[in-house]
């Protein structure tokens, strides 16, 4: 793989533009799909796993009250299962921040995480 093997980055995902025009009863499920799509694009792996806390964070305001921006930490990790199709998978977890304004993508050291 041309990409660096194992890496952790923090992103701010603009869910507002990704959910524009989505039927109000399908906003939270669509947000989950969009986060998986985002992680696939940025980490280059089709195996994307979401932290249960991320699901709680998305659904805490109900099916239609998905927040406009979400700060997430996406880690590309090695898959140790012997019958795995891919050698790497992406793990997405939420990051608690006071505000998402002005935050850029950062690479997180593995010692911190």
CB 18 within 8 A of CB 35: no
Flag whether 100 is in a domain: yes
Flag whether 2 is in a domain: no
Could you tell me where the DSSP H helices lie in the chain? Answer: 15-18, 27-43, 52-59
Domain residues for the domain of 23 are 7-108
Residue 71 backbone dihedrals phi, psi, to 5 degrees: -95, 125
Predicted TM-score (pTM) of this structure? 0.90
For residue 105, what pLDDT is reported?
94
Measured in whole angstroms, the distance separating CA 85 from the mean position of its chain's CA atoms is: 21
Q: Which residues pair with 10 in a beta bridge?
A: 73, 106
Bigger pLDDT: 38 vs 82: 38
Flag whether 59 is in a domain: yes
Report the pLDDT averaged over residues 62-76.
96
Flag whether 113 is in a domain: no
b/e map of 56-82 (b: 16 or more CB within 10 Å)?
A: ebbeeeeeeebeeebbbbbbbbeeeee
Flag whether 29 is in a domain: yes
For residue 111, what pLDDT is reported?
53
Flag whether 1 is in a domain: no
Query: Could you tell me the CATH number of the domain that includes residue 104?
Result: 3.10.440.10
Q: How many structural domains are present in the chain?
A: 1
pLDDT tens, position by position, 1-21: 444 589 999 999 999 999 999
For residue 110, what pLDDT is reported?
62
Report the pLDDT averaged over residues 78-94.
91
Exposed / middle / buried, residue 108 (Cβ in 10 Å: 0-12, 13-18, 19+) = middle
Residue 41 backbone dihedrals phi, psi, to 5 degrees: -65, -45
Flag whether 69 is in a domain: yes
């Amino acid at each position: 793989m041309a990409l660096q093997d194992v890496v952790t980055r923090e992103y701010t995902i603009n869910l507002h533009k990704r959910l524009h025009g989505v039927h109000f009863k399908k906003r939270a499920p669509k947000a989950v799909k969009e986060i998986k799509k985002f992680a696939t694009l940025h980490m280059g792996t089709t195996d994307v796993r979401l932290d249960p806390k991320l699901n709680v964070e998305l659904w805490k305001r109900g099916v239609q009250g998905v927040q406009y921006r979400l700060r997430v930490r996406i880690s590309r990790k090695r898959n140790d299962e012997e019958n795995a199709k891919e050698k790497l998978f992406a793990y997405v977890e939420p990051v608690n921040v006071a505000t998402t304004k002005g935050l850029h993508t950062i690479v997180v050291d593995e010692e911190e995480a």
